[in-house]
């Protein structure tokens, strides 16, 4: 109860005591019925005061009621001791009522405070229990994720080992084809792409094997300009683009001296994002690849006219093993995110001007590689 409310109630109780005392005084002595009624009414402010304010409230209002009752006693002074003492005993009952009800009320208030404290402690314990349960569920999810990653590591090591020997044979065959096709030949460019992709794949296999042996690779790959990397990725994905008749627009801002980045890493990132865009758009769809400077470095934005990504699902997109495609592995975007972060950048998902999804890659001017080795698989 608010302090102002307590004061107002006490004043009202005090006023009721005064009114009852005045009624006792102005009512003639022979009107016994009215005096008996006033005596009984006096117990109400005493009881209410004791309930609201405890012992001190009950005693205080009992004393005030006794003082208000004193003028009434003089009416029975001449009636003899028996009548006088009978009225005088009412004062003792007022005091007893104030003390007893006050003690009971004080005890109830103490119990109420005790239960309130216990309730608050119980609420705190429940909150901590809920938080611990949430942490336990999260830890269980992370454990399951770790087990999946561990299994993936074993499978990756086996696959890398099995791929290494056939890859060497393919590389040898590509070298033979390169010797037979002169540089000016129209198909020489495709042979160069084949040799370059074989080299990139071999590099990825070596990274996987090093990671499985507990070795880490902190060295950056060959540096290349963003424009050349974008054009190369589009050329590599040309077959998939033609299959769905997808129109690709490359919009690059002119950058002095060209913005350089890790070629192998950025090819992997762009391929993962653009392949997702190809899968998302319908036939005769559109994809826009923009690039240029931003405040602290460079940006690359891949936009499409597909269905887009729900806001509720954006946080899950970069999680490992989360996929929205029937034949997806759920690793492409999570690996891409780690690669970009290893270069000191970040990936942001938004809505494209075409109505679909837009993946924006921000790279800083000075790029770096984290201590964590990123596998380009």
**Model confidence over 13-27: pLDDT tens digits?**
888 888 888 887 777
Task: Report the candidate in 305, 311, 316, 312 with the shortest Cα–Cα distance to residue 355.
Answer: 305
Length of the chain: 377
At residue 292, the 3 state secondary structure works out as: strand
Of 43-57, 69-83, 214-228, 248-262, give the lowest mean pLDDT range.
Answer: 69-83
Residue 253's Cβ-side half-sphere holds a number of Cα atoms within 13 Å equal to 13
Cα separation, 215 vs 225, in Å, equals 29
Cα separation, 374 vs 265, in Å, equals 9
**Would you say residue 54 has pLDDT above 90?**
no
- Helix-helix angle 43-73:81-180, to 10 degrees: 160
**Would you say residue 373 has pLDDT above 50?**
no
Task: Report the candidate in 296, 255, 300, 295 with the shortest Cα–Cα distance to residue 277.
Answer: 300
Cα separation, 181 vs 174, in Å, equals 11
Between 288 and 72, where is the model more confident? Answer: 288
Q: What is the pLDDT of residue 151?
A: 67
Between 315 and 114, where is the model more confident? Answer: 114
Cα separation, 160 vs 152, in Å, equals 12
Return the top range by mean pLDDT from 3-7, 151-155, 237-241: 237-241
Of 16-25, 178-187, 195-204, 323-332, give the lowest mean pLDDT range.
Answer: 323-332
Q: What is the pLDDT of residue 170?
A: 79
Give the whole-number percent of the chain exceeding pLDDT 90.
Answer: 8
User: How far does CA 229 lie from the centroid of its chain?
Assistant: 37
Which letter does DSSP use for residue 120 in this model? Answer: H
Read off the pLDDT band of 360 (50, 70, 90).
very high
Q: What is the pLDDT of residue 82?
A: 57
Average pLDDT over residues 56-61: 82
Residue 59's Cβ-side half-sphere holds a number of Cα atoms within 13 Å equal to 7
Angle at 124 between CA 123 and CA 127, to 5 degrees: 85
Q: Where are the alpha helices (DSSP H) in the chain?
A: 3-26, 32-41, 43-73, 81-180, 188-212, 226-236, 238-243, 263-280, 314-317, 332-342
What is the DSSP track for 327-376?
T--S-HHHHHHHHHHHTT-EEEEEE-TTSSEEEEEEEESS----SSPPP-
What does the mean pLDDT of the chain come to?
A: 78
Which letter does DSSP use for residue 79 in this model? Answer: G
Of 86-100, 187-201, 361-375, give the lowest mean pLDDT range.
Answer: 361-375
User: pLDDT tens, 150-170?
Assistant: 666 666 666 666 676 677 777
Q: What is the pLDDT of residue 375?
A: 40
**Would you say residue 327 has pLDDT above 70?**
no
Between 61 and 286, where is the model more confident? Answer: 286
**H-helix or E-strand spanning residue 297:** strand 297-304
**Would you say residue 304 has pLDDT above 60?**
yes
Report residue 322: phi and psi, to 5°: -100, 120
Average pLDDT over residues 50-61: 82
Task: Indicate whether this model's pTM tops 0.75.
Answer: no
Cα separation, 20 vs 35, in Å, equals 10
β-bridge mates for residue 188, sequence order: none
For residue 292, what are the contacts with CB-CB under 8 A and spacing of at least 6? 252, 253, 255, 298, 299
Between 167 and 355, where is the model more confident? Answer: 355
**Would you say residue 236 has pLDDT above 90?**
no
């Amino acid at each position: 109860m608010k302090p102002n409310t307590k004061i107002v109630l006490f004043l009202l109780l005090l006023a009721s005591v005064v009114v009852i005392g005045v009624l006792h005084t102005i009512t003639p002595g022979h009107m016994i019925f009215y005096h008996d009624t006033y005596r009984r009414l006096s117990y109400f402010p005493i009881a209410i005061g004791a309930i609201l304010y405890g012992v001190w409230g009950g005693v205080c209002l009992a004393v005030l009621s006794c003082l208000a009752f004193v003028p009434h006693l003089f009416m029975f002074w001449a009636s003899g001791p028996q009548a006088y003492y009978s009225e005088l005993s009412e004062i003792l009952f007022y005091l007893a009522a104030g003390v007893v009800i006050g003690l009971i009320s004080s005890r109830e208030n103490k119990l109420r405070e005790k239960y309130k404290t216990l309730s608050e402690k119980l609420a705190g314990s429940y909150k901590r229990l809920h938080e611990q349960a949430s942490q336990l569920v999260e830890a269980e999810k992370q454990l399951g994720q770790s087990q999946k990653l561990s299994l993936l590591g074993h499978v990756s090591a086996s696959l890398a080992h099995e791929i290494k020997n056939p890859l060497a044979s393919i590389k040898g065959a590509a070298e033979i084809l390169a010797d037979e096709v002169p540089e000016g030949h129209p198909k020489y460019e495709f042979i160069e792409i084949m040799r370059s992709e074989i080299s990139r794949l071999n590099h990825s296999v070596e990274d996987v094997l090093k990671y499985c042996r507990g070795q880490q690779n902190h060295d950056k790959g060959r540096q290349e300009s963003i424009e050349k990397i974008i054009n190369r990725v589009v050329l590599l994905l040309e077959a998939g683009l033609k299959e769905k008749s997808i129109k690709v627009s490359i919009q690059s801002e002119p950058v002095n001296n060209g913005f350089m980045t890790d070629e192998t890493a950025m090819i992997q990132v762009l391929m993962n994002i653009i392949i997702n865009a190809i899968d998302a758009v319908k036939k005769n769809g559109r994809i826009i690849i923009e690039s240029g400077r931003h405040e602290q470095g460079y940006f690359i934005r891949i936009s499409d006219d597909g269905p887009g990504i729900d806001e509720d699902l954006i946080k899950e997109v970069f999680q490992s093993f989360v996929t929205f495609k029937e034949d997806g592995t759920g690793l492409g975007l999570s690996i891409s995110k780690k690669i970009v972060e290893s270069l000191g950048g970040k990936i942001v998902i938004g809505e494209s001007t075409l109505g679909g999804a837009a993946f924006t890659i921000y790279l800083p001017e000075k790029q770096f590689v984290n201590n964590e080795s990123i596998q380009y698989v």
